Amino acid sequence: MIASLAFYLFSGILLASAAMVVSSRNPVHAVLFLILAFFNAAALFLLAGAEFLAMTLVIVYVGAVAVLFLFVVMMLDVNFVQLREGFQRYLPVGATIGVVLLGELVMVLGGWRIAPGSDGLRFAPMDAALDNTRQIGQILYTDYILLFQASGLILLVAMIGAIVLTLRDRKTSRHQNVATQIARTPADTLVLVDVVRGAGVPVDHYLRPKVTEAKPVAPADSHGGHH
C-alpha cells in the first residue's frame, strides 16, 4: 500500500518535472527541474530494489552531469527564444512527417508478439542469491567486458578528439613542469626565522618566498596540468 503510494507520488513528480524541463522558458529552471527528475527516478529505482543504480544516478547524474549542464547553460548564455524561432514555420511539415512515420511504425509494431521461447533468450535473469550490485558487476565486467572496454576506447577517442580540435598552445599559458616541481626542496623556498616570543613581528620581516632563480618556479596558484 505504502509502496504503491510512494510509487505514484514519485512517478507523478517525475513526469511533471520532466514536462517542466522541456517547457520552461528559463534554461536554468529547466536544469533544476532535470535534477528533480533525476532524484525521483532514483527513488523509483530504490522502490524496485536496485539500490546501486539509485545511488549511481544521484552521484553521476545529479552530482556531475546536471551540474555540468548548469555550468554550460550559465556560461554559454544560449538564447533559447532565438533557437525556437523557426518552430512555428517548420511545424506543419515536421508534424506531417512525424504523423506519417508514427503511422508506419504502428503498422510495423502491430506484428509484435512475445515469442514462445523468449524467456530462454533473456540474457540476464535475476539470480536471487546475488545482490544487484554484484549482478551489474558480473554483466559489466565479465559477460560484457569486450563491450565495456570498447566503450572505454570510444570515450578515450572522444577525449583525444576534444583536445586535438580545441587545445591551443598560447604564449601566456602556464604549463606544469613536473621535474622542477619535484626537484624543489624546502630550502629553496622556505626561510626559518627565530622569533622572539612576545616581541611581535617587525613590519619588514614578513616572510616571503626566496627568489632563487631568474625563472619563477611553478607558481603556487597554477593548478597547472598540461592537457
Binding site for another protein (CB under 8 A): 108-109, 111-112, 115, 118, 121, 142-147, 149-151, 153-154, 156-158, 160-161, 163-165, 226-227
Find the length of the chain: 227
Task: Tell me the closest approach of the beta carbon of residue 222 to another protein, in angstroms.
Answer: 18
Taking the C-alpha atoms of residue 75 and residue 54, their distance in angstroms, rounded to an integer, is 29
Task: Tell me the closest approach of the beta carbon of residue 176 to another protein, in angstroms.
Answer: 12
Q: How is residue 224 written as a grid cell? A: 597547472
For residue 26, report the phi and psi dihedrals to the nearest 5 degrees: -85, 120
Task: Tell me the closest approach of the beta carbon of residue 115 to another protein, in angstroms.
Answer: 5
Task: Tell me the closest approach of the beta carbon of residue 157 to another protein, in angstroms.
Answer: 5
Nearer Cβ to another protein, position 26 or 173? 173
Nearer Cβ to another protein, position 162 or 195? 162
Q: What is the dihedral of CA 77, 78, 80, 84, to 10 degrees?
A: 160
Residues 195, 205 contacting (CB under 8 angstroms): no
Taking the C-alpha atoms of residue 140 and residue 134, their distance in angstroms, rounded to an integer, is 10
Nearer Cβ to another protein, position 200 or 225? 225
Nearer Cβ to another protein, position 124 or 191? 124
